[in-house]
Amino acid sequence: MTSNAILKHKFIVLLFLIGSISYAQEMRDMTASYNRNELSNSNLTIEADRKPIGCFEYSGYVVSRETGDPIVDAGVELKNSDNVLVATIRTNKTGYYSFTIPCNGKSKIVFFGEGYSKESRIVKTGENLKSPSINNRIYLTPFESLVEKEGSVEKIKVDPIFFDSHKSTTVAWDKMTLDKVLFTMLKFPEIRIKIKSHSNAGGTDVSNSVISYFRTKAARRYLILQGIDPTRIERANGYGTERLENDCTDGLDCQGQESANGSLSDFIIVSN
């Protein structure tokens, strides 16, 4: 091969190498540019799909159901749909609270105060921002308004449940009294009670004991059927004529209200 042919061959090889390097560099630049565009488009998609954090303001006042007075330093908890605590605040001296509720979900707001019942509200939101929901008044029931004391014994405050002689079934107005017990136990889920009942002396000791026994069981059964955990009712005892609160005794002819006053039930708080 002549020297000119050799030089020509080398020149062609050099051009090929230069072209290959340029092509490789161009491909790298194109790949980098494509990746940058993909990343930018991905960010734009994320930004487009991102929902606003705060959907609307939910505010108002926590007050006493008994007096209507504001409850200072009441606790207000915000929980998400999984019942996970998101935030906790306290009411100010006017009982005021304010939360920003997240969008596109279900939130639970729990209100509570020392010596008061616990209340909750469920707030559902969509994807769009909403106008503020203000002046939401939350009423908490004071524990002391639902109980009474006889010496060192603390009882749920109810009208005595009077029964017809020799009947263990309750009538409609007795159900209203049981509903007061139910209300107290629902509003204060930490309390536990025992039920006691005694009967008038219209029959024998045995019959009165049986009657009072079934009365306490009927009251206990009603509370459980309404959703009260059975473990919160420690005892349900019937005492027959052992603990009468009137002057009726076996052998005496007690009639009317005097006899009825010997047939009642108490709901005694054993822990809270």
Q: Break the chain into its structural domains and give their ranges.
A: 1-50, 54-143, 146-271
Looking at residue 69, what is its pLDDT?
97
Q: What is the mean pLDDT of each run of 10 residues along the chain (272 residues)?
A: 57 53 60 54 42 80 96 97 95 96 94 95 91 95 93 86 53 72 94 81 59 79 94 76 49 45 74 82
- H or E stretch including 96? strand 96-102
Among 96, 223, 256, smallest CA distance to 156 is for: 223
| Residue 69 φ/ψ region, left for φ over 0, alpha for ψ in the -120 to 50 degree band, beta for the rest | beta
CB atoms within 10 A of CB 200: 27
Contact 78, 86 (CB under 8 A): yes
CATH number of this structure's domain 146-271, picked from the four choices 3.30.1330.60, 2.60.120.20, 3.40.640.10, 1.10.1660.10 = 3.30.1330.60
| pTM confidence score | 0.65
* CATH of span 54-143: 2.60.40.10
